[in-house]
A and B are shown apart, each in its own frame.
Chain A
Amino acid sequence: MGLALDIAVTHIRSRLRQTLVGVLGVATGVGFSVMMAGLMEGSQRDFISQLVDSLPHITVSDERRTPPVQPAAEVYADVEISNLSTVDRRRGIKNPLAVISEIEGWAPARIAPSVRANILLRQAGRDVGAVMLGIDPRREILVSNVASKMVEGQLDNLLKASNAVILGARLAERLGVRVGNTITISSSGGKAMTATAVGIFRTGVAQIDDSQLYALTRTAQILAGQTGLINELRLKADNALEARELATRIEAETGYKAVSWQEAHEDLLNAFNIRNFIMYTVVGAILLVASFGTYNIISTITHEKTRDIAIMKSLGLRAAVVRRIFVIEALIIGFIGMGAGFLFGFLMTQALGSLEFRSPYGDATHLPVIYAPLHYALAGSIALGASFIAAWLPARKAASVNPVDIIRGAS
């Protein structure tokens, strides 16, 4: 290895300009790959974390995946019954405290019961549909970060006034509501009440900020016209990534539909997978193009060094040693390019991460970027692999040189 390494180092040192071009090619490829991966995954993680932080990891509703089997159908299994009316059951989760207690017994998660109701908000002659979430502020902090997302007022303000509500920022803007204003709320069942806005929150998730408001459980129950109603349990799992498995078990044990955040945003996660596939394809293409530079350099060196190769072989150097010389040359270029690319990529990622963006709906934010060792490892390995492959063909050609052909030609 020592001899091959020495010869390889001497070759690339004697061709500094070419070596520099090769190194720059690999460095650019690696740098852009690292930056791109950091930016893409950074934005993805930021989006998911906003989603995961703002929403419960699992939502257990009073619905069921499949409608319950009707007693008549159970008795007359072979008889076709048409136009069968289902029994009008009392809404909500039956005995919610028992269900909560059961889930809390085994699930590594925190639970908050709530009442979800579709409502209509009326303010200054405008009607806006929204979702009211009846909560207990003391338990709500266990499952959501809405308390930390308040831009005006506090979550506890719900306890300080009767019929108090806290609105999403975009919803408040649409209605022109400010803290202290009174609004009229009516439920789908026709019940109406007057409520006071005691706070405004902004989660950063448009879907929530645009259509959700919080009230006390009792207020939501009054609007829903059902005392003691709890139609939703919201859970925050200790590990957000286990939400899907927990939801499956909760559903199996309680019979109620339990939807994990992954299931709720399946289409989004699939889109991310496609986006990642595209990203890695582009990254691979960048590195492939960089490897052409390495191929070009090694090809040129082997071409220029044909006579030296013949001499070394005539002296008794094995073909494998000759091959190794050129592979080492490419790997040296690859290694230096990789190191420079890491630095370049890191600096570009940092520069991008420092850029500030202002949104009309939110605070000024920086581009979300991440520094993942995996990105560096991936870009580095692909660059080295590409350098190796780029060198292999010319190296193999060099090793197959017949010394007599060259010596005879030179003579």
Chain B
Amino acid sequence: MSGPLIEARNITRVLPGEVETTLINGIDLAINAGEFVAITGPSGSGKSSLMYLLGLLDSPTSGDILVEGRSTAGMPEDERAKLRLETLGFVFQFHFLLAEFSALDNVMLPMRALEKRTPAEMEAHAMDLLTRLGLKEHAHKRPDQMSGGQRQRVAIARALANDPKVILADEPTGNLDTASTDQVFGIIRTLVGEGGRSVIVVTHDPHLAARASRRLHVVDGKLAPIPTE
């Protein structure tokens, strides 16, 4: 496939209500294989909304989002869910791990939903990912038995479970201390380019954004020129 992994074509997202709120206003962009894209912008500018749209968690009010050239406009929810499961991986500001499950079970969850590996393969792959992220000793711990940085690393391992082509991270270090931030961001950085994988990170931290290969700045739901620091 030679085209962009994700392409947004003039997407707009308007929240309905007595007073309509425009979150995203006519954005065009393309994310190519192997890119590390940082989305920055002030609070409430629409950067997270843009990520939700690019990650098919939300649907644009108008415009279209293409994933590997495939239009998602009007796509049934189950199909969008399958596309997310196969192609996209998510890391959120809060780890959002399932509290009653161990780290290993959390990482295996997307694999079990996709059902493309045998149970033994799933466990081995989940263990590989946790080992790679330095969590081998914590594989059988539940989230409440781990530190914030460890939980976020488990969330990264879960995002990688189905070997997605794109990782979308929404303020992945927003809730971590400086040491953990460096560690987690460092890990995210290493994921870029593996098998053509792209990473899209939403961050308000200009220093972290500076480490990305491309930076998109969102102001009032539109792409704007990157401000000079």
Q: Are B57 and A404 in contact (CB under 8 A)?
A: yes
Given contacts A3-B109, A3-B112, A404-B58, contact A308 B98 (CB under 8 A): yes
Q: Does A94 contact B (CB under 8 A)?
A: no
Q: Mark A7-22, 1 if CB is under 8 A from B, else 0.
A: 1001101100000000
By beta carbon, the residue of chain A nearest B96 is: A311
Q: Does A314 contact B (CB under 8 A)?
A: yes
Q: Does A347 contact B (CB under 8 A)?
A: no
Q: Which of A308, A315, A404 contacts B84 (CB 8 A)?
A: A315
Q: Are A407 and B57 in contact (CB under 8 A)?
A: yes
Q: Are B57 and A314 in contact (CB under 8 A)?
A: yes
Contact residues of B between 107 and 146, Cβ < 8 Å to A: 109-110, 112-114
Given contacts A316-B110, A316-B113, contact A311 B98 (CB under 8 A): yes
Given contacts A3-B109, A407-B57, A411-B171, contact A316 B82 (CB under 8 A): yes
Q: Are B94 and A316 in contact (CB under 8 A)?
A: no
Q: CA–CA, A318 to B96, complex, Å?
A: 18
Q: How far is the CB of B112 from chain A (nearest CB, A)?
A: 4
Contact residues of A between 298 and 314, Cβ < 8 Å to B: 307-308, 311-314
Q: Which residues of A contact B99 (CB under 8 A)?
A: 308
By beta carbon, the residue of chain B nearest A15 is: B100
Q: Which residues of B contact A316 (CB under 8 A)?
A: 81-86, 88, 110, 113-114
Q: How far is the CB of B203 from chain A (nearest CB, A)?
A: 13
Q: Are A407 and B92 in contact (CB under 8 A)?
A: yes
Q: Does B25 contact A (CB under 8 A)?
A: no
Contact residues of B between 74 and 109, Cβ < 8 Å to A: 77-78, 81-86, 88, 90, 92-94, 96, 98-101, 109
Q: Are A11 and B85 in contact (CB under 8 A)?
A: no
Q: Which of B81, B85, B100 contacts A14 (CB 8 A)?
A: B100
Q: Does B40 contact A (CB under 8 A)?
A: no
Q: Does A150 contact B (CB under 8 A)?
A: no
Interface centre among B58, B96, B99, by most A CB within 10 Å?
Answer: B96
By beta carbon, the residue of chain B nearest A315 is: B110
Q: CA–CA, A314 to B92, complex, Å?
A: 11
Q: Which residues of B contact A408 (CB under 8 A)?
A: 48, 52
Q: How far is the CB of A15 from chain B (nearest CB, A)?
A: 10
Q: Does B64 contact A (CB under 8 A)?
A: no
Q: Mark B51-62, 1 if CB is under 8 A from A, else 0.
A: 010010110000
Q: Are A10 and B96 in contact (CB under 8 A)?
A: no
Q: Which residues of A contact B90 (CB under 8 A)?
A: 314-315
Q: CA–CA, A262 to B38, complex, Å?
A: 86
Q: Does A321 contact B (CB under 8 A)?
A: yes
Q: Mark B63-77, 1 if CB is under 8 A from A, else 0.
A: 000000000000001
Q: Mark A372-411, 1 if CB is under 8 A from B, else 0.
A: 0000000000000000000000000000000110011011
Q: How far is the CB of B88 from chain A (nearest CB, A)?
A: 8
Q: Does A317 contact B (CB under 8 A)?
A: yes
Q: Which of B57, B78, B110, B112 contacts A403 (CB 8 A)?
A: B57
Q: Does A269 contact B (CB under 8 A)?
A: no
Q: CA–CA, A314 to B98, complex, Å?
A: 13
Q: How far is the CB of B122 from chain A (nearest CB, A)?
A: 11
Q: Which residues of A contact B88 (CB under 8 A)?
A: 316
Q: CA–CA, A375 to B109, complex, Å?
A: 41
Q: Does A319 contact B (CB under 8 A)?
A: yes
Q: CA–CA, A407 to B52, complex, Å?
A: 10
Q: Are A321 and B48 in contact (CB under 8 A)?
A: no
By beta carbon, the residue of chain B nearest A405 is: B58
Q: CA–CA, A403 to B170, complex, Å?
A: 14
Q: How far is the CB of A12 from chain B (nearest CB, A)?
A: 10
Q: Are A317 and B113 in contact (CB under 8 A)?
A: yes
Q: Are B92 and A319 in contact (CB under 8 A)?
A: no
Q: How far is the CB of A393 from chain B (nearest CB, A)?
A: 20
Contact residues of B between 25 and 65, Cβ < 8 Å to A: 48, 52, 55, 57-58
Interface centre among A3, A13, A314, by most B CB within 10 Å?
Answer: A314
Q: How far is the CB of A199 from chain B (nearest CB, A)?
A: 76
Q: CA–CA, A237 to B98, complex, Å?
A: 68
By beta carbon, the residue of chain B nearest A3 is: B112
Q: Mark A87-118, 1 if CB is under 8 A from B, else 0.
A: 00000000000000000000000000000000
Q: Are B81 and A404 in contact (CB under 8 A)?
A: no
Q: Are B92 and A411 in contact (CB under 8 A)?
A: yes
* A/B interface sample: 6 pairs, CB < 8 A: A10-B100, A13-B100, A308-B98, A318-B81, A318-B82, A411-B48
| Interface residue ranges, B against A (CB under 8 Å) | 48, 52, 55, 57-58, 77-78, 81-86, 88, 90, 92-94, 96, 98-101, 109-110, 112-114, 158, 170-171
14 extra interchain contacts, Cβ-Cβ under 8 A, other than A315-B84, A410-B96? A6-B112, A7-B98, A308-B99, A312-B109, A314-B55, A314-B90, A315-B90, A316-B84, A317-B85, A317-B113, A319-B78, A321-B113, A408-B52, A411-B48
